[in-house]
A and B are shown apart, each in its own frame.
Chain A
Amino acid sequence: MVDAARHPKIDVRTFTNVERVEGYVGNFKVQLREKARHVLADRCNGCGECSKVCPIEVPNYFEMNLAPRKAAYVAMSQSVPLRYTIDENACIHCYKCVDACGALEAIDFSQEDKLIWEDIGSIVVATGFNHFDPSVIPEYGYSRYPNVITAMEMERLNNSAGPTTGNLIRPSDQKNPQRLAIINCVGSRDKRFNPWCSNFCCMYAIKNAVLLKQMNPTLEISIYYMDIRTPSKGYEEFYDRARGMGIRFIQGRPSLITEDPQTKNLFIHSEDITLGKISELEYDMVMLNQAAVPQPDVDSVSSVLNITQSPGGWFMEYHPKLRPVDSPTDGIFLAGACQGLKDIPSSVSSGLATASRAGRILHSDEWEIEPIIAQVWEDRCVMADGKICGVCARACPYGAIIIEEGKAASVTVAKCHGCGGCVAECPHNAITQMHFTDAQVFSQMRALLAENPQEKIFAFRCHWCSYGGADLAGTSHFDYSANERGIRVMCSARMDPDFIYEAFRLGAGAVLYSGCHPQDCHYITGQKVGATRADRLQKLFEKLEMTPGRFRIEWISAAEGDKYSRVINEMQKVIDAIPHEQLMTEIERLKPEMEKRARRMYETPGMDKAVTYSDAMVKAINTKEVKNGA
């Protein structure tokens, strides 16, 4: 902590939030909100005179609210930086602190939040985790029984810098307990609350037990556990050491804690799986080893940074094995528990790994980004003819398209992120996206639907999420119908209505329109552009009396392999439920309408060649199939 504060290259900004992030790798602009602490950082010397005279006391979050702090406070004596803060919500404006500060004049009640923009090349996100509140588990009585405490409360109670200077006492009578129970997996591995294993709590229970036993060898300690997980170096040995010290391990998840109203002692009702018996044992104090959960502001952090969440609320890495500290956004990296729960050695390792990953960029004079960007065909843009349009500019989440009267729209290359929203939205087919042109997508569709198209589930997937979800379905071996045929575009914003019409015109049995969840969009509002369009398409197909389910919209994240598999299987059932004749009749009935609507796509430059080539491809595929069948 101190090393960070005094490092000449590190600028520590505490009491500061990240408000907005704009830009791209190498060129981020980050807006910070430096919250008003009503103390001038350059004048405060940390003497604490303000705190001494402050008449207001409120619970100190740092002490898990077991001790008070003043409205003029530092959270702990080792705070870095050692600068006081006036708690705006608690302060009664008596200004005694101003007098106590005297000639230093470090207190300034006129201070307001400051908004600051910073130019940044690369960002490391290390926002950590939060503690599960066990009061929602009725059977353990936390918050009803005074002697049931959480792990973090225990941490402060046995800490020599804590509120009791390390003297472990029961909250009900301030006596030292003689019989202590620790219950593991409180809110973890419990489908009512959090299904995950919180990673470090087994070791954490053992650590506290060993520590307390060292401090007081006569203290009887029992740990209730489901499994003891000790997978890292030295951990199993540490567990052995705890057993050798006489700490008792009882395998079983307690079902109930009851309290003796007189003594405030606690009875733990549990099965002891090893002995095959039900037990009801009396303790003076119980520590609930609570689950670790995502930070409460995880949703707003993900939307500010444009990073996806895995189920549960952990930030999604680019690849779970090969790129575990990269976020899907170039130049943004993930360190520590915000990506998934980690103990201290793993958190440090991932922090150091991000420094190496970010260093690759920050030591370069320039960085290469993919040229998958939009390009305007100037001769097709109606703005060039003096008409008013600007649809493309409105669809662009980055303000990358410049519209001037009498001039064709133009794309600012460095600002374009390549979602393809403008391309799909342009009513005149005057924009194309490099590497995802209409001709390319059309040719792919023709090849995929060359044979028995009515059997196919045609899936449009965005690169970042639903394509990743399809990958995960495979990696997890979640079987789904092999009739699925997929096309990848960068964002659902690129899924041109013409593509959907064309897929149905070609006779697809069903079409899936899938992308990321709104908060996960890699292109800020790209998904919104796609979703609005998809809803419009859905209404149209309803009006055209298409069998419900043949067109489906689903938002599937890269972490939802199970969902991808389920959706495809459900779509297969939709096709299976329609009698063959009826399906063929419906496809034929809708064909003229689809043809009429998809017609515009054929006017796109390059499409004539795509049609010629695709005809040859379809012919080759079908001829070959006949040969194979013969």
Chain B
Amino acid sequence: MAEQKPEDELRIGVYICHCGSNIAGVIDPAEVAEWATHLPGVVRATDTLYACADSGQTLIKEDIKKYNLNRVVVSACSVRMHETTFRAAVAEAGLNPFLMEMANIREQCTWAHGHDKEGALKKAKDLTASAIAKARFLNPLTMIKVPVTKRAMVIGGGVAGISAALDLADQGIETILVEKEPTIGGVMAQLNKTFPTMDCSI
């Protein structure tokens, strides 16, 4: 395991996204940012209109250099949405991408608690604190590189499968097209003409 850096070296940057009005319509991102400045290890906390936009990413990248940040926390949307975006952004600024942590204050906060703004604000603060706490213990990691077998398999020989197989094969990729019936063609082969052009199906 990579060695933990001592706490006195910890320099966390925290970015609270407005996401236009998606987040800022329910809570005040500036208040969360101000609050986060008091948490241990945080040297920079600010709100940003769209963290994922060029301007937001540039802000983070510049701050990494300006404040010598070694951890970044982005309180914005779901990790399923933008984790790769922010990992790439911090990597561009020379930080290991795994030293970035997200707090999901959109899908799992403002979008779900529009009826309870006070509750949403408390939760946004807690989720941000939780991400900061995790960030404190993040380790730099390196992606694992695996070899690639340059063969494709398409399961199902209907119109979608045939299209996929033909396009893969035209790219020069050896492709196995698997069909459970004795013939390929699927439902499409059973059809007469097709809409809206009334051309034949096979």
User: What are the residues of chain B within 8 A of A80 when measuring CB–CB?
Assistant: 183-185
Closest partner residue, chain B, to A82 (CB atom) = B183
Count A/B pairs, Cβ under 8 Å: 409
- Chain A residues, Cβ within 8 Å of B157: 4, 12, 14, 126
| A336 and B160 contact, CB distance less than 8 A | yes
* In the bound complex, CA of A235 to CA of B163 (Å): 22
* Interchain CA distance A119-B152 in the complex, whole Å: 9
Interface flags for A470-498 (1: CB within 8 Å of B; 0: not) read 11111101111111111110000000000
Considering only residues 170-202 of chain B, those with a C-beta below 8 Å from chain A are: 170-198, 201-202
Contact of A479 among B112, B126, B142, B165 (CB under 8 A): B112
CB contacts under 8 Å to A, within B118-164, are: 119-120, 122-123, 125-127, 129-134, 136-139, 141-164
Interface string of A586-630 (1 = CB under 8 A from B): 000000000000000000001001101110110011011000100
Q: Is the interface of B mostly helix, strand, loop or mixed?
A: mixed
Contacts of A211 in B (CB 8 A): 192-193, 198
**Within 8 Å of chain B (Cβ to Cβ): is A306?**
no
Interface-facing stretch out of B43-51, B59-67, B102-110: B102-110
Using Cβ atoms and an 8 Å threshold, which residues of chain A touch B119? 481-483
B116: Cβ under 8 A from any A Cβ: yes
- A565 CB contacts on chain B under 8 angstroms: 112
Contact flag A128-B179 (CB < 8 Å), given A211-B192, A366-B146, A613-B136:
no
Contacts of B110 in A (CB 8 A): 474
How long is the Cα–Cα vector from A140 to B138 in the complex, in angstroms?
A: 63
Task: Provide the bound-state CA to CA distance between A565 and B181, in Å.
Answer: 42
Closest beta carbon of chain B to A453's beta carbon, Å = 11
Least distance between A471 CB and chain B CB atoms (Å): 4
Q: Is the CB of B183 within 8 A of A75?
A: yes
> Does A81 touch B at the CB level, under 8 Å?
yes
Using an 8 Å CB-CB cutoff, how does the interface string of A359-375 with B read, 1 for contact, 0 for none?
A: 10111111111111101
Q: Would A337 and B160 count as touching, CB distance under 8 A?
A: yes
> For residue B191, which residues in chain A have a CB less than 8 angstroms away from its CB?
155, 159
Judge whether B112 and A121 touch: CB under 8 Å. no
Q: Is the CB of B160 within 8 A of A347?
A: yes
Q: Produce 1/0 per residue, B47-90, CB < 8 A to A.
A: 00000000000000000000000000000001111000000000
Bound-complex Cα distance A123 to B113 (A):
39
Say yes or no for B167: interface residue by CB 8 A criterion.
yes
Interface residues contributed by chain A, number (CB under 8 Å): 153
* Inter-chain contact A13/B152, CB cutoff 8 Å: no
- Bitwise interface map of A from 453 to 470 toward B, beta carbon under 8 Å scored 1, else 0: 000000000010001101
Asked if B4 and A118 sit within 8 Å, CB to CB, the answer is no
A363 touches B171 (CB 8 A): yes
Residues of A within 8 A of B164 (CB): 124, 126, 333, 335, 351-352, 354-355, 358
> Is the pair B176, A11 in contact by a Cβ cutoff of 8 Å?
yes
Q: Which of A156, A336, A355 contacts B158 (CB 8 A)?
A: A336
CB of B7 within 8 Å of the partner chain: yes
> Contact at A120–B182, with CB atoms within 8 Å?
no
Q: Is the CB of A348 within 8 A of B171?
A: no
Is A283 an interface residue, CB under 8 A from the partner? no
Q: Are A414 and B144 in contact (CB under 8 A)?
A: yes
| Bound-complex Cα distance A17 to B152 (A) | 16
Cβ contact within 8 Å between B187 and A12: no
User: By the criterion CB–CB under 8 Å, are B168 and A440 in contact?
Assistant: no
Q: B91 interface residue, CB < 8 Å from A?
A: no
Interface assignment of A544: CB less than 8 Å from any CB of chain B: no
Cβ-closest chain B residue relative to A15: B182
- The CA-CA distance from A237 to B197 in the complex, in Å, is 11
Query: Are the C-beta atoms of A37 and B163 separated by less than 8 Å?
Result: no
Complex CA gap A318/B81 in Å reads 10
Q: Distance in Å from the Cβ of B104 to the closest Cβ of chain A?
A: 7
Q: A27-B147, A78-B202 given as contacts; is B182 within 8 A of A85 (CB)?
A: yes
Which of A50-58, A202-210, A221-229, A513-521 is the contact stretch? A202-210
Residue A434 is within 8 A (CB to CB) of chain B in the complex: yes
Determine if A9 is an interface residue (Cβ-Cβ < 8 Å). yes
Cβ of A444 under 8 Å from chain B? yes
A203–B196 CB distance below 8 A: yes
Residue of A nearest to B149 (CB): A121
Question: In the complex, which residues of chain B have a beta carbon less than 8 angstroms from the beta carbon of A437?
Answer: 137, 139
What is the distance, in angstroms, from B55's C-beta to the closest C-beta of chain A?
Answer: 21
Q: Tell whether, in the assembled complex, residue B144 and residue A443 are in contact, meaning their CB atoms are under 8 Å apart.
A: no
Q: How far is the CA of A158 from the CA of B191 in the complex (A)?
A: 9
A156 contacts across to B, CB distance below 8 A = 190
**Given contact pairs A126-B164, A367-B148, A482-B123, A475 touches B176 in the complex (Cβ within 8 A):** no
Smallest CB separation, A389 vs chain B (Å): 21
Contacting residues, chain A, for B174 (C-beta < 8 A): 9, 11
CB-CB nearest 9 A-B residue pairs: A336-B160, A482-B119, A351-B163, A126-B161, A355-B167, A474-B107, A474-B111, A9-B169, A126-B156
Chain B interface residues (CB < 8 Å from chain A): 1, 4, 7, 35, 38-41, 78-81, 98, 104, 106-116, 119-120, 122-123, 125-127, 129-134, 136-139, 141-198, 201-202
Interchain residue pairs with CB less than 8 A apart (20) = A75-B182, A79-B182, A207-B193, A234-B197, A319-B81, A338-B156, A344-B201, A356-B167, A361-B148, A369-B144, A371-B144, A439-B137, A447-B132, A450-B129, A482-B109, A482-B120, A485-B126, A606-B4, A617-B40, A624-B35
Assuming A155-B192, A342-B160, A348-B159, what are 15 further A-B pairs, CB within 8 angstroms? Answer: A4-B177, A17-B178, A26-B146, A26-B149, A118-B176, A127-B155, A207-B195, A335-B154, A335-B164, A355-B171, A358-B164, A373-B144, A482-B109, A487-B130, A616-B40
